[in-house]
Amino acid sequence: MVHRFKSFLRRWRYTPLVLTGSVALILCGAEVSPVGVGDGARFEGEDTLLFPKGYREWVFVGSSLGLEYDAEKKQASEKLEFKNVYMSPSAYRKFLQTRTFPEGTILVLETGTEAKKSEPGLRGSYLDEFTGVSAAVKDTKRFADGWAYFSFGDRGAKSKDRAQPFAKSSCYDCHRQKGGLDNVFIQFYPMLRSNPAK
């Protein structure tokens, strides 16, 4: 019995060191990628963004109704547009830790039409049908201005599975001038304005 116990100790005496080394390697490896591999922006070629599948399972950071920057539009339309914004989970977690948007951050904007109800005991607006999907991606190595903006067209059968970045004047300039932090309209996204983890 004593012989077996001593043999057991000899076999396992270095196990804590092995485990410690393995954990260290895992932790070091976790810091290599700015955002998670599974939910980061996926590209084809130099700048073609692939459709962000599963974005509705990402972190919902904010919504608006009829909100837009358009100096040339003098009168609002009767029906307003809903805008829902989702953020890749790994980028969101890093943002909460650092209050900066990490490389590879992708924000998805999904738009939809407004419908209204006005009847006894029921009044208000709700999102009726989805109309489009757009995305903003932070990648300073790929894009000279740091951020790029994309549209996948209509939501549904007509959605494109890949998109090219807009011209800088189409989206970037407005986001740069009006964005509350690093080109992002965090002033309209309560999940980014505050830190719910605290």
Asked whether the beta carbons of 179 and 78 are under 8 A apart, the reply is no
- What the block records as the tokens of 85 is 């914004």
* One domain for residues 143 and 88: yes
Query: Which is it for strands 43-44 and 147-151: parallel, antiparallel or unpaired?
Result: unpaired
* One domain for residues 98 and 154: yes
* One domain for residues 46 and 14: no
* One domain for residues 4 and 82: no
Q: Which residue has the tokens 């208000």?
A: 124
CA–CA distance, 151 with 157 (Å, rounded to integer): 15
Q: Which of 5-9, 37-41, 103-107, 184-188 has the lowest mean pLDDT?
A: 5-9
* One domain for residues 121 and 108: yes
Please give the share of the chain, as a percent, with pLDDT higher than 90: 40
**56-94 burial by CB neighbour count: b if 16+ within 10 A, else e?**
eebbebbbbeeeeeeeeeeeeeeebbbbbbbbbebbbbb
Tens-digit pLDDT profile for residues 51-60? 999 999 999 9
Quick one: pLDDT at residue 163? Answer: 93
Assigned domain for 138 exists: yes
Residue-range definition of the domain harbouring residue 25: 1-32
Quick one: pLDDT at residue 174? Answer: 84
* One domain for residues 72 and 170: yes
Specify the number of domains making up the chain: 2
Question: Which CATH number belongs to the domain containing residue 131 in this structure?
Answer: 3.50.70.20
Q: Which of 64-73, 100-109, 115-124, 164-173 has the lowest mean pLDDT?
A: 64-73
The residue type at 119: E
* One domain for residues 70 and 168: yes
Tens-digit pLDDT profile for residues 17-54? 333 333 333 333 333 345 555 678 899 999 999 999 99
